[in-house]
Amino acid sequence: MEAVKSYRVPVEAPKDLIEEYFKVKQKVLTVVLSHVKFSEKAHLEFRNEERRRLRDELLGGWRFSKHYVDSVINSVIGLVKGWITLYNKGKARKEPRVTRKTVYVKSTLFSYRDGKLKISIEPNKRYLEADLTKYSWVPKDFEKVGGLILTEKELIITVKKNVEPKAETWASFDMNLTNMTALINGEVRRYNLKTLYHVHRVYEIKRQRIQKLSKFKPKTSEKLLEKYSHREKNRVKDFMHKLTTAIVKDLVKLGSGAILENLQGIKDRVLNSSKRNNRKLSKWNARQFQFMLEYKLKWLGLPVKHVNPKNSSRTCPLCSGYLVAYEGRLMKCSCGLIVDRDVVAVLNLQMWGAGFTPESPP
Ligand SMILES: [Zn+2]
What is the structure's pLDDT at 362?
Answer: 39
Cα separations (Å) of 219 from 203, 225, 247? Answer: 19, 10, 42
Cα 259 to averaged position of ligand 1 atoms, centre (Å): 23
Q: What is the pLDDT of residue 359?
A: 45
Task: Give me ligand 1 centre to Cα 43, in Å.
Answer: 53
**230 pLDDT higher than 60:** yes
Distance 167 CA to ligand 1 centre (A): 29
- The CA 268 to ligand 1 mean position distance, Å, reads 28
pLDDT value at position 180?
94
Cβ–Cβ under 8 Å, residues 346 and 188: yes
Distance CA 287, CA 290 (A): 5
Rounded to the nearest angstrom, the distance between the alpha carbon of 182 and the centre of ligand 1 is: 21
pLDDT digits (tens, 9 = 90+) for 114-132: 999 999 999 999 999 999 9
Residue 263's pLDDT band (boundaries 50, 70, 90)? confident
pLDDT for 145-170, tens place per residue?
Answer: 988 999 999 999 999 999 999 999 99
| Amino acid, single-letter form, for residue 214 | S
Instruction: Flag whether pLDDT at 361 surpasses 60.
Output: no
Q: How far is the CA of 323 from the centre of ligand 1 (A)?
A: 7
Q: Does the pLDDT at position 270 exceed 70?
A: no
- CA of residue 315 to ligand 1 center, whole Å: 8
Show me where the domains of the chain are located. 13-103, 104-162, 169-307
Antiparallel, parallel or unpaired: β 103-105 and 144-150: antiparallel
Expressed in angstroms and rounded, the spacing between residue 313 Cα and the centre of ligand 1 is 12
For position 356, what pLDDT does the model report? 63
Query: How would you classify residue 137: left for phi > 0, otherwise alpha for psi between -120 and 50, otherwise beta?
Result: alpha
Burial state string for 20-35 with b = 16 or more CB within 10 A and e = fewer than 16:
bbbebbebbbebbeeb
Instruction: List beta partners, residue 171.
Output: 258
Dist. CA 99 → ligand 1 center (Å): 56
Distance between Cα 338 and ligand 1 center (Å): 9
Mean pLDDT across the chain: 90
Residues making up the chain, counted from first to last: 362
pLDDT-derived band at 341, boundaries 50, 70, 90: confident
So what's the pLDDT on residue 268?
A: 53
Distance 326 CA to ligand 1 centre (A): 14
Its CATH class, for the domain covering 169-307, is alpha beta
pLDDT at 90 over 50: yes
Instruction: Return left, alpha or beta for 124; rule: phi > 0 is left, psi -120 to 50 is alpha, else beta.
Output: left
